[in-house]
Amino acid sequence: MKSSTTPISEYIWESKYCWRENGQKLDKSIEQTWQRVAHAVAAIEPHSHDKWEQHFYQALVGFKFIPGGRILAGAGTDHRSTLFNCFVMGLIQDDMEHIFEALKQAALTMQAGGGVGYDFSTIRPKGSVAHSAGRIASGPVSFMHIWDAMCATMLSTGSRRGAMMASLRCDHPDIELFINAKRQAGHLRHFNLSVQVTDAFMQAVESDQDWPLVFPVEADQQTDNRVTLMRPWPGYETPVTCHVISRIPARELWQKIMQSAYDTSEPGILFNDRINEANNLAYCEQITTTNPCGEVPLPPYGACNLGSINLTSFVIEPFSQNARLDLESIRDITAIATRMLDNVIDCSGFPLKDQAQQAHGSRRIGLGITGLADTLIMLGFSYAEKNARDTAAQIMRTISHTAYRTSISLAKEKGSFPFFQKGPYLESHFVQSLPDDIHSAIKLHGIRNSHLIAIAPTGTISLLANNISSGIEPVFDFKVSRKILNRQGEYESFKLEDYAFRTWQDLASGSEELPAEFITAHKLSPLAQLQMQAELQPYVDNAISKTINIPQDYSFTDFLKVFETAWKLGLKGCTSFRANPVTGEILSTQVPCCDIEQEHQQNKSI
């Protein structure tokens, strides 16, 4: 693939990733941006700076490897911004002083360019009494509005788009207020919402049992004759005594969650038990929420930097009988990209000391893929075919295992991540699933990074790479129009053609009679999309951002089965999008619709 060959690619580079100072462009071309990034990341190497700078630059040329937007925009500049896209903030302690301290920390993180995730389950339910202060609590949703206003204020100062994730436990007494919090258009518009769902809740739904809504008993409270249960809760190392505030039929609560998701595409679902069972660091951390788009579940103050391998760059003889993938080159680029992202940890700044400690302690990275749908089309596969899923799994397995082998080599060279404990790490669910040679090598040499793989939505960087399909999403349509917010706060319209579509036209001398593999998102069943996500999940130690596209006329009865199927397929979560008067449409095949930033607000499932 060449450099910027489309107006949208040039525009995205100019508006988002070109280094400017006082209005002057210091990057004169995208090649200079790549050179800047490669030089900055190679400077961390203890030896052979020039050699690694050249390796990193060659990986970036032609969009073969595309680092996350924060890396492209910030590496090698004088900007005081973080190179990490993803953060989960610290525990929100349930008192005014700590709540507003948490708000300040979020503002500082957003100012530096990071999106944030929060678990609001620690805030007492609306209407309860804080015995120590004698005040009536307003509940977690009320405080979310304060966060939302802060985010809007940050945007008005010219900061990067604010993005936040709010999650709440399925047994919190305010869960119904939470799931309906975005029903009114314009409310909490800077938040993505996700319900933390446990296996016990899903089992209660299946067996039509009552479900208790609970909150921890405070030190100054008496249990008296009130019913209590032991529950794990954020902020406590072991299960804690909780008052049962009320009960609701589990199936009724589930249907209310699903009805809101059907009507407004909010909330998504986090299958928390599965997230923690599969966590490589389950021995030293508990995860209750994710970054804004959901591809990285993180502990308090956790952070992760991202990058994606552009699969379209590795298709040989597309649309021919000999069309094939260059897997050897994918292995090569994976090894280079893994080293690059590991180096980013050491050349990035952090808004908060706690974030730096977590990032350096775990050395989490999130290497993923983009352009999957276009790649499958160019190979002659329809997204819903078994051959397509098998090919996607082969790609993901290759990248995952290569990244782990590279991280082991890095550990031999530079040392394992500080939180590494050999015994518990080797016993973790995901590590147990790795090939024997990787498992044995970790036992012998350790490993540099606790986690290595995450599949992000890649909306903006996929436009940068000449409008390839984003992440693992199917192509929305092969010709679309969209509006994009420019640096002056005004919208510009772009007519876009999909990368695989343009490639086909070039090879077919302009023919628009498309082969059968050219299938769009709205022609794919939700099950086909879930199956693709499930096929890749075994090779992803973080998570996958994938939005299940739901036809507007899809029945609610069938919609209920989508999320239940996601749980049964072993996914870590699920999010859907169904166009309706509240959500609108992300793209338009005829007239410009939403701006680019809104796309990220929908791509948040794991």
pLDDT in tens, 519-568: 999 999 999 999 999 999 999 999 999 999 999 999 999 999 999 999 99
Rounded to 10 deg, the angle between the 499-507 and 372-379 helix axes is 20
**Rounded CA separation 214/287 (Å):** 19
Averaged confidence pLDDT in the chain = 91
Q: Is residue 360 predicted with pLDDT exceeding 80?
A: yes
Q: Is residue 602 predicted with pLDDT exceeding 50?
A: no
Span 387-393, mean pLDDT? 98
Catalytic residue among 53, 266, 285, 295: 295
Q: Is residue 159 predicted with pLDDT exceeding 60?
A: no
- The three-state secondary structure class of 303 is strand
Q: Is 293 in the active site? A: yes
- pLDDT tens figures, 414-454: 999 999 999 999 999 999 999 999 999 999 999 999 999 99
List the beta bridge partners of residue 495. 481
Catalytic residue among 170, 242, 293, 574: 293
Q: Is residue 178 predicted with pLDDT exceeding 80?
A: yes
pLDDT at residue number 483: 83
- pLDDT tens figures, 323-358: 999 999 999 999 999 999 999 999 999 999 999 999
Q: Would strands 491-497 and 479-485 be described as parallel, antiparallel, or unpaired?
A: antiparallel
Span 480-496, mean pLDDT? 81
- In this structure, of 1-15, 31-45, 295-309, the range with the lowest mean pLDDT score is 1-15
pLDDT band at 592 (very low <50, low <70, confident <90, very high): very low
pLDDT at residue number 476: 92
Residue that is written with structure tokens 């004759």 in the block: 225
Q: Is residue 581 predicted with pLDDT exceeding 70?
A: no
pLDDT at residue number 596: 36
- pTM here is 0.94
**Rounded CA separation 468/318 (Å):** 14
Q: Is 535 in the active site? A: no
- Residues near 73 by Cβ (< 8 Å), separated by ≥ 6? 16, 17, 19, 79, 81, 113
CA distances from 531 to 206, 278, 308, 369, 516 (A): 22, 19, 21, 17, 20
Span 389-408, mean pLDDT? 98
Report whether 131 contacts 218 (CB < 8 A): yes
Q: Is 242 in the active site? A: no
pLDDT at residue number 595: 36
The amino acid at 334: T
Sign of CA dihedral 224, 228, 230, 234: negative
- Residues near 488 by Cβ (< 8 Å), separated by ≥ 6? none
- In this structure, of 132-146, 202-216, 257-271, the range with the lowest mean pLDDT score is 132-146
Catalytic residue among 85, 272, 291, 467: 291
pLDDT at residue number 604: 47
Q: Is residue 170 predicted with pLDDT exceeding 50?
A: yes
CA distances from 261 to 139, 256, 530, 572 (A): 22, 9, 16, 17
